[in-house]
Amino acid sequence: MGFISERLRAIVVHAAALIATVLSGGALASGSKVNQMDMSPGVTATGQAIYDLHTAILWICIVIGVVVFGVMFYSIIYHRKSKGYKAANFHESTSVEIAWTVVPFLILIGMAVPATSTLIQVYDTEEAEMDILVTGYQWKWKYEYLNENGENVSFFSNLRTAQDEIYNTEDKGEHYLLEVDEPVVIPVDTKVRFLVTANDVIHSWWVPELAVKRDAIPGFVNETWTRADEVGIYRGQCAELCGKDHGFMPIVVNVVSKEDYAAWLETKQAEAAEIKALMAQTFTMDELVARGKNVYQGYCAACHGMNGEGGLGKAIAGSAIATGDLTKHLDIGVNGVPGTAMQAFGGQMNDVDMAAVITYQRNAFGNNMGDMVQPIDVFNHKKG
């Protein structure tokens, strides 16, 4: 009962909110607002052009609709038998028929012209000032900065919303489902080219405010671009069904000033250098387990469960692998299990994280193996 009355209350509250927004004409301003009803022009020139095109076609359709339905309803109201209206008997008129073939055709040409020029604009990826390689994974995005000064900057971007929020045991945050652990950062007023590909299945990189949607096809690289006019945080989602967690692989683009971008890039490069240093280091069990726990929750929990109980992947708790030969376990982590959803994580995370997560799996969920893996072991294993 409590369940139902709670739902009922929710309906009433939301209905009231809905009526309020609809009455106020919806939220048409930029940014995906609550109860937004129309496309947003976003913060790019292309976005504006698409928005204008959209608005123009919409209105053309509305006008045609009003005329067509107007005629129909006139006829429905006046030409009815109950009013004693007698049926006419015409059933042909070549001139009328030619007219309503030609006129829509001309209207279509009128639409095709701006559509063509906008399309050409969308396709013009030339003269980009920087390139970012975007790779879709089940279910996260990887960003690699390709230009000289962006070298080594490469990271994964995972959903940050907690499972507790998703399963309603905790209140949902403001950016529920649209928040990531590490957003992609680009400078404002800069033509950025995105090279979009995928590692496993097809994904689609979509940020409405930047007017970018491009499919990520495994084995092929697609090009698209944007130039954001305004600093801000823009959120999007994967737009191509890519398996279980398709609904849970958001995109967050942080558009910053050019100076902030340069600073960010610098920290990123420093971080990369730091990881390099860490690679050579030896860690204690506690350090590895602590780090591993984070990695596990970010990478593995989606399939193997928060408590190693399994799900899409096999259970880690008590698994023969995780409580067996260490090399075998490490090998699965690095190279995956071909032909299953268990991917090769060797290329996706650095050796420190890999060492940590394997160690964690062997010493958590009741797997008290007591052994550990060091980054150097991972490195050696990868080399074969």
Partner 1 sequence: MGDHHHGPAKGLSRWLFTTNHKDIGTMYLWFSFAMFILGGAFAMIIRAELFQPGMQLVEPAFFNQMTTLHGLIMVFGAIMPSFVGLANWMIPMMIGAPDMALPRMNNWSFWILPPAFLILASTLFMEGGAPAFGWTFYAPLSTTYAPPSVTYFIFSIHVLGLSSIMGSINIIATVMNMRAPGMTYMKMPLFVWTWLITAFLLVAVMPVLAGAVTMMLMDIHFGTSFFSAAGGGDPVLFQHVFWFFGHPEVYIIILPAFGVVSQIIPAFSRKPLFGYASMVYATAAIAFLSFIVWAHHMYTVGMPIAGELFFMYATMLIAVPTGVKVFNWITTMWRGSMTFETPMLFCIGFLVLFTIGGFTGLMLSIAPADFQYHDSYFVVAHFHYVMVAGAVFSMTAAVYYWLPKWCGRMYNETMGKTHFWISFIGFNVTFFPQHFVGLAGMPRRIPDYALQFTDFNMMSSIGAFIYGASQILFLYNVIATIVAGKPTSEEKVWDGAEGLEWTVATPAPYHTFETPPAVR
Partner 2 sequence: MSDQATTHEKYYVPEKSAMAALATIGLITSTFGAATAMNQATFGNGESSFTTMYIGLCIFAATLFSWFRTTIKENLAGMNSAQLKKSYVIGMFWFIFSEVMFFAAFFGALFYVRTLAGPWLAGEGEGGAWNHLLWEGFQYSWPMMQTPQEAVGGVSNQVMANMGTFTSAHKSMAFAEVDAWYQWLPMWNTIILLTSSGTVHIAHEGLLSGNRSRFNLWLGITVALGVIFLSLQVVEYYEAYAHFGLTLNSGIYGSTFFMLTGFHGFHVAMGTIMLAIQLIRSLKAGHFTSDDHFGFEASSWYWHFVDVVWVGLFLFVYIL
Q: Which residues bind ligand HEA (CB under 6 A)?
A: 61, 64, 68, 104, 107-108
Q: Give, as ranges, the residues between 48 and 77 that touch partner 2 (CB under 8 A).
A: none
CB of residue 188 vs ligand CUA: minimum separation in angstroms? Answer: 27
User: Is residue 136 within the footprint of ligand HEC (CB under 6 A)?
Assistant: no
User: Is residue 54 within the footprint of ligand HEC (CB under 6 A)?
Assistant: no
For residue 200, which phi and psi values (nearest 5 degrees)?
-120, -75
Is 13 exposed, middle or buried, given 0-12, 13-18 or 19+ CB atoms closer than 10 A?
A: exposed
| Under 8 Å between Cβ of 232 and 252 | no
Residues in Cβ contact with 308 at an 8 Å cutoff, skipping those fewer than 6 apart:
315, 316, 317, 319, 322, 361, 364, 365, 367
Q: Which is nearer to partner 1, 66 or 280 (CB)?
A: 66
Q: Measure the CA–CA gap between 77 and 70, rounded to whole angstroms.
A: 10
End-to-end CA distance of the chain: 61
Which pair of tokens denotes residue 47?
Answer: 């976005």
Residues linked to residue 359 through DSSP beta bridges, in sequence order: none
Interaction partner, residue 344 (partner 1, ligand HEC, partner 2, none; CB < 5-8 Å by kind)? partner 2
Interacting residue with ligand HEC among 199, 350, 359, 361 (CB under 6 A)? 361
User: Is residue 279 within the footprint of partner 1 (CB under 8 A)?
Assistant: no
Tell me whether the omega of the peptide bond preceding residue 139 falls within 30 degrees of 0, making it cis.
yes
User: Is residue 197 within the footprint of partner 2 (CB under 8 A)?
Assistant: yes
Q: Which residue has the tokens 């240093």?
A: 277
Interacting residue with partner 1 among 129, 147, 149, 176 (CB under 8 A)? 176
CB contact burial 257-272 (16+ within 10 A = b; e otherwise): eeeebeebbeebbeeb
User: Is residue 325 within the footprint of partner 1 (CB under 8 A)?
Assistant: no
Which pair of tokens denotes residue 168?
Answer: 């309603």
Q: Which is nearer to ligand CUA, 155 or 248 (CB)?
A: 248
Interacting residue with ligand CUA among 182, 240, 260, 377 (CB under 6 A)? 240
CB of residue 76 vs partner 1: minimum separation in angstroms? Answer: 7
Q: Give, as ranges, the residues between 248 and 287 that touch ligand CUA (CB under 6 A).
A: 249
**Residues near partner 2 (CB under 8 A):** 133, 195, 197-200, 218-221, 223, 335-336, 338-339, 343-344, 347
**Residues near ligand HEC (CB under 6 A):** 138, 299-300, 302-304, 312-314, 319-322, 329, 332-333, 337, 340-342, 345, 357, 361
